[in-house]
Structure 1
Amino acid sequence: MFITTALRNIRRNFSYTFLNVFGLGLGVATCLVIFLVVRNELSYDNYHKKADRTYRVTLNAIDFNPSVSMAIAPAMRSDFPELEISQSWFRYGGMVKIGEHRYNEKGYFFADQQFTSIFDFQWMAGNARTALTAPNTVVLTESMAKKYFGKENAMGQVIRLDNAYDLKVTGIIKDQPANTHIPFLFLVSFETLAKELEPAGMNFYAIMGGTTYIVVPEHYDVDQLRKRIPSFIKSHWGNDIAKDARLPLQPMLDIHYDTRYLGGGASPTVSKNSYKALGAIGLLIIIIAAINFINLSTAQSIKRAKEVGVRKVLGADRRQLIRQFLGETSVLVLVAVVLGTLAASLFLSKATDWLEINIGPAALADPVVMLFIGGLTLLLILLAGVYPAFVQSAFNPISAFKNMRAPVVRGFSLRKSLVVVQFVISQLLIIGTLVVAWQMDFFRNQDLGFNKEAVVSFPLPDRSKREIIRQQLAADPGVKEMSFSSGAPGYSNNFAPFSAPDRGLDKDDVTELKFIDEHYTTMFGIKLLAGAGLVPLQGVDTLNQVLVNETLIHKLGIQNPQEAIGARFKGVGRTLTIKGVVQDFQSESKHKLRRPVILRYNADRLYDVSVKLQSGNMVKTMARIDKMWSTMFPEELFEYEFLDDHIANFYRQEQKLYTAFRLFAGIAILIGCLGLYGLIAFAAIQRTKEVGIRKVLGASMTSIVYLFSKEFIWLIVIAFCIAAPIAYYMMDNWLQNFAYHISIGVGVFLLAIAASFIIAGLTIATQTIKAAVANPVKALRSE
Structure 2
Amino acid sequence: MLRNYFTIAYRTILQQKSYAFINVMGLALGLAACILIFLVVRNELGYDSFNRKANRTYRVTVHGLDYNPSVSFAVAPAFRTDFPEAEQVSQFFYQREGQVQVGNEKFLEESYAFADGQFPQVFDFEWLAGNPKTALQEPNTIVLTETMAHKYFGDADAMGKTIRLDNEKELRVSGVIRDLPSNTHLNFNFLVSWETVRKDMNLTDFWSIQGGYLYVVLPEKLHPKRVEARIPAFIRKNWGKEIAKGAALLLQPLREIHFDKRYLTQITMPRSKETIYGLAGVAIVIILTACINFVNLATAQAVRRSKEVGIRKALGAFRGQLIGQVLGETTLLVSMATLLALLAVLAFLPFTKPLLDIRLDASQLAEPAVIAMISGIVLITILLAGLYPAFIQSGFQPIKALRARATDTSVGGMTVRKGLVILQFAITQVMIIGTLVVASQMDYFVNQDMGFDKEAVVSFWTGNKADVMRQKLRDNPGVEQFSFASAGPAFNFNFTPFSSPELGMADDDVTELKLVDENYIPMYHLEMLAGEPITKKAEGDTSNNVVVNQTLIRRLGIQKDADAVGKRVRVAGAQAIIQGVVRDFQSESKHKKIRACVLTYNSKAFWQTSVKLKPQNLRETLAKIEQEWSELNPESIFRYEFVDEHIAKLYNQEEKMYNAFRLFSGIAIVIGALGLFGLVSLMAVQRTKEVGVRKVLGASVASIVLLFSREFIWLMLIAFVLAAPLAWYGMDLWLREYAYHIQIGPAIFLAAILVTFVIAALTVSYQSIKAALVDPVKSLRSE
Q: TM-score, normalised by structure 2?
A: 0.97
Displacement of 1:592 in angstroms is 0.7
Cα deviation 1:388-443 (Å, max 9, x = unaligned): 11211122111111234346557981111111111111111111111111111111
User: Superposition pairs for residues 690-705 of structure 1, below 5 Å?
Assistant: 690-705=690-705
Displacement of 1:542 in angstroms is 5.3
Whole-Å Cα distance in 2 between the matches of residues 611 and 755 of structure 1?
A: 43
Alpha-carbon spacing, 1:358–1:351, altered in 2? closer, same or farther (3 Å)? closer
- Given that residues 34 and 283 in structure 2 are in contact (C-alpha distance below 8 angstroms), is that contact kept between their aligned partners in structure 1? yes
**Of 193, 197, 203, which residue of structure 1 is paired with 2:201?**
197
**Of 434, 437, 450, which residue of structure 2 is paired with 1:435?**
437
Aligned to 1:253: 255
Structure 2 residue 506 is the aligned partner of structure 1 residue 506? yes
- Aligned residue identity for 2:453: N
Aligned to 1:741: 741
Aligned to 1:207: 209
Structure 2 residue 517 is the aligned partner of structure 1 residue 517? yes
Cα deviation 1:597-618 (Å, max 9, x = unaligned): 1101111111111111111221
Displacement of 1:498 in angstroms is 0.3
Aligned to 1:544: 544
Alpha-carbon spacing, 1:144–1:407, altered in 2? closer, same or farther (3 Å)? closer
**Secondary structure of 1:521's partner?**
helix
Aligned to 1:382: 383
How many residue pairs are counted as aligned between the two chains?
778
**Of 56, 66, 69, which residue of structure 1 is paired with 2:69?**
66
Identity percentage of aligned residues: 52
User: Superposition pairs for residues 139-154 of structure 1, below 5 Å?
Assistant: 139-154=143-158
User: Superposition pairs for residues 283-298 of structure 1, below 5 Å?
Assistant: 283-298=284-299
Aligned to 1:663: 663
- 5+ long unaligned stretches in structure 1: none
- Given that residues 423 and 719 in structure 2 are in contact (C-alpha distance below 8 angstroms), is that contact kept between their aligned partners in structure 1? yes
- Given that residues 346 and 361 in structure 1 are in contact (C-alpha distance below 8 angstroms), is that contact kept between their aligned partners in structure 2? no
Aligned to 1:615: 615
Moved segments of 4+, more than 3 Å: 404-412, 538-543
- Given that residues 363 and 369 in structure 1 are in contact (C-alpha distance below 8 angstroms), is that contact kept between their aligned partners in structure 2? yes
Displacement of 1:460 in angstroms is 2.0
Cα deviation 1:228-262 (Å, max 9, x = unaligned): 22222122222222122111111110111112111
- Aligned residue identity for 2:223: D
Structure 2 residue 94 is the aligned partner of structure 1 residue 90? yes
- Given that residues 349 and 361 in structure 1 are in contact (C-alpha distance below 8 angstroms), is that contact kept between their aligned partners in structure 2? no
Aligned to 1:780: 780
User: Superposition pairs for residues 127-206 of structure 1, below 5 Å?
Assistant: 127-198=131-202, 201-206=203-208
- Given that residues 293 and 672 in structure 2 are in contact (C-alpha distance below 8 angstroms), is that contact kept between their aligned partners in structure 1? yes
- Aligned residue identity for 2:317: A
- Given that residues 430 and 665 in structure 1 are in contact (C-alpha distance below 8 angstroms), is that contact kept between their aligned partners in structure 2? yes
Displacement of 1:116 in angstroms is 0.8
Aligned to 2:342: 341
Displacement of 1:587 in angstroms is 0.3
**Secondary structure of 1:559's partner?**
coil
Alpha-carbon spacing, 1:600–1:542, altered in 2? closer, same or farther (3 Å)? farther
Aligned to 2:565: 565
Whole-Å Cα distance in 2 between the matches of residues 543 and 672 of structure 1?
A: 69
Aligned to 1:459: 461
Query: How big is the alpha-carbon RMSD for the aligned residues of Structure 1 and Structure 2?
Result: 1.6
Alpha-carbon spacing, 1:204–1:458, altered in 2? closer, same or farther (3 Å)? same
Whole-Å Cα distance in 2 between the matches of residues 545 and 448 of structure 1?
A: 25
Which 10-residue stretch deviates more, 421-430 or 752-761?
A: 752-761
**Of 59, 73, 87, which residue of structure 2 is paired with 1:56?**
59
Displacement of 1:779 in angstroms is 1.9
Aligned to 1:398: 399
Whole-Å Cα distance in 1 between the matches of residues 647 and 165 of structure 2?
A: 28
Cα deviation 1:101-160 (Å, max 9, x = unaligned): 111111111111111101111112211111111111111112211211222221111111
Displacement of 1:775 in angstroms is 2.5
Cα deviation 1:161-219 (Å, max 9, x = unaligned): 11121111111111111111112111111111111003xx4111101001111111102
Displacement of 1:695 in angstroms is 2.3
**Secondary structure of 1:224's partner?**
helix
Whole-Å Cα distance in 2 between the matches of residues 48 and 196 of structure 1?
A: 31
Aligned to 1:726: 726
Displacement of 1:698 in angstroms is 2.8
- Given that residues 479 and 613 in structure 1 are in contact (C-alpha distance below 8 angstroms), is that contact kept between their aligned partners in structure 2? yes
Whole-Å Cα distance in 1 between the matches of residues 652 and 598 of structure 2?
A: 28
Cα deviation 1:726-749 (Å, max 9, x = unaligned): 111111111111111111122222
**Secondary structure of 2:373's partner?**
helix
Q: TM-score, normalised by structure 1?
A: 0.97
**Secondary structure of 2:420's partner?**
helix
Structure 2 residue 46 is the aligned partner of structure 1 residue 39? no
Cα deviation 1:529-563 (Å, max 9, x = unaligned): 11112222246765510111111111111122222
Aligned to 1:277: 278
Whole-Å Cα distance in 1 between the matches of residues 130 and 539 of structure 2?
A: 53
Whole-Å Cα distance in 2 between the matches of residues 506 and 538 of structure 1?
A: 32
Whole-Å Cα distance in 2 between the matches of residues 378 and 361 of structure 1?
A: 22
Aligned to 2:226: 224
**Secondary structure of 2:249's partner?**
coil
**Of 422, 425, 428, which residue of structure 1 is paired with 2:424?**
422
- Given that residues 27 and 285 in structure 1 are in contact (C-alpha distance below 8 angstroms), is that contact kept between their aligned partners in structure 2? yes
Aligned to 1:29: 32
Aligned to 1:353: 354
Which 10-residue stretch deviates more, 490-499 or 500-509?
A: 500-509
Cα deviation 1:341-391 (Å, max 9, x = unaligned): 101111222244212222123332222222211111111111111111121
- Given that residues 98 and 110 in structure 2 are in contact (C-alpha distance below 8 angstroms), is that contact kept between their aligned partners in structure 1? yes
- Given that residues 143 and 176 in structure 2 are in contact (C-alpha distance below 8 angstroms), is that contact kept between their aligned partners in structure 1? yes
Cα deviation 1:695-735 (Å, max 9, x = unaligned): 22233333322222222222222211221111111111111
**Of 446, 449, 465, which residue of structure 1 is paired with 2:448?**
446
**Of 16, 35, 40, which residue of structure 1 is paired with 2:19?**
16
